[in-house]
Structure 1
Amino acid sequence: MTKLFIKELDLISFGKFENKKLTFSEDFNLIFGKNETGKSTLASFVEGLLYGFDEGKKKRSFSYKKNAYRPISSYKYAGSGIFSKDGKEFKVYRNFDDGSYKIIDLENNSEISSKPTNLNYPGEFLLGIDYDIYKNYLASFQSQKADSRANNKLLEKLANHDIDYNFSTNKALGLLENEYTRLGSSRAYTKPFLKIKNEINEIKERLYEIKLLKNTYRTDFRRLDRNREELSKVNENYKKLKKVNDSFKNYRATSNYRDYKKWSDELYKINENMSEFDDVKGLDDDYLSELESQIDLYRKNDSSLAQYFIFALFLASLILGIFANKKFFIVSALMVIVFFALSMDRSSEFGLDELNKYNKKKSRYLKYKNLIKEKEKIEEVLAILKKQDINDAGLIDVGDFDFENYNFEKSEQDLEDLLDKINKISKEIQRDEKSLVNIDEKIKDEVDLVDRLKYLEKKLEEITKKKKAIKLAQKTIKKLMDENRGDFSKLNIRINDIVKEISKNSYESISFDKNLSPNIITKEGYKLTLDQVSTGFMDQVSFALKLSLNEEVFSNIFIVYDDAFINYDMERLRNALFFLLDASCQRQVLYFSCHTREEEIFKSEGIEINYINMEDV
């Protein structure tokens, strides 16, 4: 049987204690202290060290008890304890802030592996019981009553220890029924029986699907090969055509560059020539037209006056010659002719000079005007070339190719068509590849599915056999129950011994039923309810039950009593202490009290125990 006791407690920082160590004997330990000296704090430290302060929850939650013992003057909130289990020593360290812990095997100084999320693990590992049973049956406090959850768990413990045959068989029937229910039926969709059947059907359907897929696999694969080959050809054609198109673009850009340079040079020359015509800059056609009109008008007026004057002189000479004398007429005529000649000569000289100047300026203006028109045409050509590709890097080498007659627009359309075809084929390839990958995966799983099917069919056969065995076992157990129906005889005998000894035979019998509910019979034969007995007597019954259970169920694990006998008189207290002294021969007892009665009883009997005064801690 497992023997477990507390060897040492180290309160690093807990409640009012700072760096305090206490050592205990493995039998009876009396811890005395008046109120507020830290007895309950020490008892709670043991509980917190083993199970944390989350009321049995596996994970952290809010706990009033944890906040109650948080140190005020220290940032630390931790402690440790050394426990002896079957001769081996283990150290448990707990950080009460976050609940984290470590369990160290002191024999080889190695840490015991555990689940950090299970805050109860140190107690479950060392004591082998969960928090509810520890709280209700190993750590007894004044007027403490066990809750229903702890009772249920204790009943399971009792079944495992086979204390009561009637209870064990009932529990066995329940466990068998639970197992039968767990296995399930043809209607329980979440249970193993139907889940396995459904999975078997699913696997068979998948294997049938694989069989169908195998028939289409080769056809799909050949289509994929054809598409890949076609894609390779189309890609090659696309690359070739794109190379020619790029070359043509480069050729066109290079030609544009040469044209642009040629016309730029022409523009430079024209600008140089135009700088020589500064005298006609600002003139226009209207100005020349007006100037020419003025010259024509001037010449016309000057010629008309001379002609009128000569005609008048000739007429006068003619008249005088007719009436005067012929010589005079001839002389007058000659003089008119000479005068006319001289007049004509002067008029011609004057008009020719102005005309030469005008014609020269007009000629320069017309040349300047032609240069302007030529410049505008060149600038227009340059503007058009600027909008086109211009590149002087040279051509892509595509061999001999007729770029002059190349249909670039058609080739661009051909490129788009090829690209569309590439995209279309690529999508078909992707679709087929994805489909074939899925088929490969399904076909690849065929062997595993066959193995899984065989396993499940075998598992289903085992479950079917197990269900039949459970039904047979239930039938057999029920038969045994009818033959061996009994009660908590062994446990009730021990409880009666303890209660009668403490209460001095105040009652005829005390027994507990299968739900751990007490049946109390007086000496007069009356059955009493719990409301009809005193608190002190119920404390005695509770003490008897818990001590008996400790002896029968929990092996030799330490037990804690914190002012559990405060309602006892001296005689009953004496009797209870003697039962505990006997029990401490097999298991450690930690007895907390705020009275001196216990110490006086031990001294009066000359009994040596490990005595700890909390005022000295």
Structure 2
Amino acid sequence: MIFKELGILNFGKFENKIIELDRGLNLISGENEGGKSTIVNFIDGIFYGFSRDSLARKVRDDIFEKSRPWSTNLYKGYVLLSDQSEGYRVSRDFDADEISILNIENGEDLSKDERNYLNSRIPQPGLIFFDMSRRLYRSSFFISQRFSQVEEDAAGEIKNKIDNFSVSQDENLDLTKVLDKMNKDLDELGTKRRKTSEIGRTYGELEKITAEKINFASLRENYEKTAQAHKDAEEELKDLEDKMRGRKLFELQELKKKLKESQEEKKSQDENFDFSDLERAIEINRSTGLYSSKLDDLLSQEGHIFEIDDDAELDYKRFKEIKEEIALLNENNFSKEIEIISADIHNIEKVAFKYFLKIFLSCLAGGATVFLSIYFKKYFLIIFSIIFFTYSYFRIVKYRENKDLLHRLKNKLVDFKKKSMDKTIKKKEFDKDFAELLEKYQARDLKALSEILDEKKEENLKNISKNEYNESWKEKNHLEIRDTKEKISELEAELLKIFEKYGVKNIKDLKNLFYELKDYNKDKTSEYEYRIEALERENLSGEIYREESLESISDKIKEVTREISNLEGILKTQEESLEKLRSLEEKSFELEDKLKKLEYKRELLELSIDKFETFIKLRRRDTLPILKNNISNYLDKMTSSKYSEILIDDRFDIKVYDKNVGDYVALDRLSLGTMDQIYLAFRLSISKIITDKKIPLVLDSHFDSYDDERLKNTLEVLKDEEQVLIFSSSNREREILDKYNLTYNLIKL
């Protein structure tokens, strides 16, 4: 298989860059930052899309963003390749994740081939053409300068990569780390004896819980005994309740018999006792009482004179007169009149004073005018003094009117004050009279006194009316007394006959006789009916029980109920302890289950480690001889037979046989250039072991540490490969190729 053309349409710094490649050596030369690494990434991107293996979602590495075109939004390219005489065109739109794989010879389209999506949701044509994953492809057919200037580190890296490939077929996949991780996990699991390990801690917790469970050893047995006792008590209670129902059934039958007997007894008694006689006797007794009361009233009222309280009558009259006089006095509010007149006097005095000032000032002004006119001999000014004197005259008239009014008001004020004083004196006299009346009739206040006097007055009026009525009624009263006495005698004779019939002396004995009989029968019947009704409401059923009384059965039920209550309390306490025991058992079960899982995990890890170690040994045994042979052949050609054999012992220490020394030399004693040759021999060996396909090799600045001799020998080896792409920023490769007339295709960037 060879790449015939790289069509870098829009990728990194390149736009529409076409690179034609030939079979054999292809030297791609350019300055630093000239785009060599971009072309290497382009090849990786076309065949694998910068994808990381993931079928769950699309995942790319950082190269995808770093390789975006600088001057356009398009992100495309293609590769023309030839495989077993058939040509293919592989193109990719990186942004859209779209590929096109076309067989140029027969037009077959492999774009939808399922192999593109075996490892990733981003299509990978490399799986079709190289039959390997991106990781394996980059670790076998992509070769760069691998090492720094520290020889010890370089030797260690070569050793690790050869070891990794001998086991996993991938130089970057170190299965010994997986083995170390498994051993670490096994160590963390530990054993029962190592208490700090996970198994040890779990076993310790289980022992602690087991010790706690011992404290509850007898609890379950005690709980079962208590539960059985509780069950027996409940059964006994049920039996007692059945007996109670049976006894009640017996009581119900007996009560029905007694009720029937009571009803028959009542019927027999009703035939001997006539309740109409009792009713007649009661009626006669009541009528006799009424007539007797009437007779007493007639006798008591005959000749009776009701007393009239004359003193209360006089006090009532005097109280009303005082109230009327006080009402008349209160009609004249002298205090208000005095207040109004005093205010008027004050206002008039102020007005009079103003008039006096005006008179004084106007007279003064008139006098001053006369004086000044005479003094200055301006006699015509005397006319103006007349105005002032005229004004003074009218003010004097007003002043006198006010003084007269003031005099009258003062006289009126004196009169009102006298009347007010008289009114006060009278009120004090009335208060004294009221005090005497209040004390006489023991009244709290005037209102109470008024009520008392009103009652006295009303009582006097009634007594007067009665006295007047008695005078008119006295004549006919004697006839009514006689008739009433005769009626009473008739009723008493009839009542005596009833007493003699039933052998009693008075109405009370007769009532007791009838009522006792009636109440006795009624109470017995009611009691029987009530008890029968109460028992029938219970819907009793079952067998009749006669041996024990209701009270005895009830006492036993109370005793058993108390016992059940005590047992329930004990059970509740025991159940709380049992709950803790159940919790410990659940925890113990969880820990036992966890311990089983941990032990199983330990056994599984031990088995896995054993199998894995066996697998590694077998892989090394199968792969290392082939790998050693291939590396030795390549190294012999690259070093002109100086280093013709490589030795790898059981501890994976690598040595190279040096013909000049005649002995094996340790890897860390070799130069960086030699180690780069060994690494290249290793990578070439890998490419031959992992696949039969002749896939183009890509060497990116790999020969920087080679001297001219090493470079010439290595190029001599590489010229026999199907296709090699050498990327270089120097002219050394070109000069040596030209110097030794080696065929190659030169591409300048």
TM-score, length-normalised on structure 2? 0.35
Structure number with larger C-alpha Rg? 2
TM-score, length-normalised on structure 1? 0.42
